[in-house]
């Protein structure tokens, strides 16, 4: 992470930022966030990120009225400038700092805004994929919400890393491919591109949406059996951009032969 952050539109050091321990954000992780790719000091696909933040805030009843889109972009621009984050990544998080109705502690009824930046993630040239033993729940009330309550995803990601893999494919309770732990997934078969439909419980990622707008791609409900037979597998996210898998559970791919950038 870079030296400075923006907290409630003030540039400060990270150690000086805090949220209420007794708020619903502190007790239950009630917050929303998005991660953006920064190219030449400009956030990529900003309109899509802001639309998702606004939509997610409405679903979780997080009040964004203290922060207009213009105010948030100004705070982001300032953070990028002070950190000299020309080509980087940024995370925008809104914390619900209202009081918990379960624990009767006083808390200010407000929302806090945190903006952090960091260097762009390095390209994974030998991306190794496995299958996560932890299933996604397509019926969860948090489906398609990028919530700060991300522990299930992190546990799945950490479990894969402990086994020597870079990421893991998650399936839902019906055995359908959903996504990777921290990214959307696409696969190529006979020059046709596929990705899980939103019915599986996958997140409507901004990079996923961009690809669907610019490339013929079938949104499907598919079992794991399709991945070993695929010609190529790709993960997409704002941080990864487009990363091609070199291995899926012992099946190796020649990344020189199939490039998603040749398809779009």
pLDDT digits (tens, 9 = 90+) for 77-99: 999 999 999 999 999 999 999 98
Looking at residue 106, its pLDDT comes to 73
Looking at residue 155, its pLDDT comes to 97
Residue 151: how many other CB atoms lie within 10 Å? 9
What residues make up the domain containing 11? 5-119
Q: Which two tokens stand for residue 102?
A: 């379960």
- Same structural domain for residues 134 and 245? yes
- Same structural domain for residues 172 and 213? yes
Looking at residue 90, its pLDDT comes to 98
- Same structural domain for residues 24 and 80? yes
Could you tell me whether strands 218-220 and 232-237 are parallel, antiparallel, or unpaired per DSSP bridges?
unpaired
- Same structural domain for residues 107 and 156? no
Contacts of 33 (CB under 8 A, 6+ apart): 91, 92, 93, 94, 146, 147, 148
- Same structural domain for residues 216 and 177? yes
- Same structural domain for residues 143 and 53? no
- Same structural domain for residues 138 and 79? no
Last residue of a domain, one of 119, 143, 178: 119
Last residue of a domain, one of 91, 119, 147: 119
Low-confidence ranges of the chain (pLDDT < 70): 107-108, 256-264
Last residue of a domain, one of 90, 119, 148: 119
Looking at residue 9, its pLDDT comes to 96
CATH number at residue 219: 3.20.10.10
Q: Which of 178, 257, 169, 175 is nearest to 219 (CA)?
A: 178
- Same structural domain for residues 26 and 138? no
Tell me how many domains the chain contains.
2
What predicted TM-score, i.e. pTM, was given to this entire model?
0.92
CA 4 to chain centre: 22
Looking at residue 258, its pLDDT comes to 55
CATH number at residue 16: 3.30.470.10
- For residue 86, what is the DSSP state? S
- Same structural domain for residues 151 and 115? no
Task: Give residue-wise pLDDT tens across range 198-239.
Answer: 999 999 999 999 999 999 999 999 999 999 999 999 999 998
Looking at residue 101, its pLDDT comes to 82
Tell me what the pLDDT averaged over the chain comes to: 93
- Same structural domain for residues 114 and 152? no
Question: How distant, in Å, are the alpha carbons of 52, 63, 172 from that of 196?
Answer: 19, 31, 11
- Same structural domain for residues 138 and 242? yes
- Same structural domain for residues 153 and 227? yes
Looking at residue 125, its pLDDT comes to 79
Task: Give residue-wise pLDDT tens across range 33-45.
Answer: 999 999 999 999 9
Looking at residue 263, its pLDDT comes to 47
């Amino acid at each position: 992470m870079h030296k400075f952050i923006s907290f409630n539109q003030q540039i400060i050091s990270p150690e000086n930022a805090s949220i209420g321990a007794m708020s619903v954000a502190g007790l239950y992780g009630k917050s929303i966030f998005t991660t953006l790719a920064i190219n030449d000091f400009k956030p990529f696909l900003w309109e899509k990120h802001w639309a998702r933040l606004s939509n997610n805030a409405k679903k979780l009843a997080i009040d964004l009225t203290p922060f207009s889109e213009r105010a948030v972009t100004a705070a982001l621009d300032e953070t990028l400038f002070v950190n000299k984050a020309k080509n980087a990544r940024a995370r925008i998080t809104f914390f619900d700092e209202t009081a918990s109705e379960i624990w009767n502690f006083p808390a200010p009824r407000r929302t806090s805004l945190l903006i952090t930046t960091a260097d762009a993630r390095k390209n994974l040239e030998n991306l190794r994929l496995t299958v996560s033993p932890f299933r996604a729940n397509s019926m969860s009330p948090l489906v398609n919400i990028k919530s700060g309550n991300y522990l299930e995803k992190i546990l799945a990601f950490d479990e894969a890393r402990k086994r020597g893999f870079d990421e893991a494919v998650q399936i839902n309770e019906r055995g359908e491919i959903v996504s990777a732990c921290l990214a959307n997934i696409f696969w190529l078969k006979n020059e046709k591109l596929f990705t899980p439909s939103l019915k599986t419980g996958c997140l409507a990622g901004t990079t996923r949406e961009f690809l669907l707008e610019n490339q013929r791609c079938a949104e499907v409900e598919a079992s794991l059996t399709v991945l070993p037979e695929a010609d190529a597998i790709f993960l997409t996210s704002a941080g990864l951009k487009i990363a091609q898998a070199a291995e899926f559970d012992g099946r190796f791919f020649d990344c020189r032969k199939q490039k998603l950038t040749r398809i779009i």
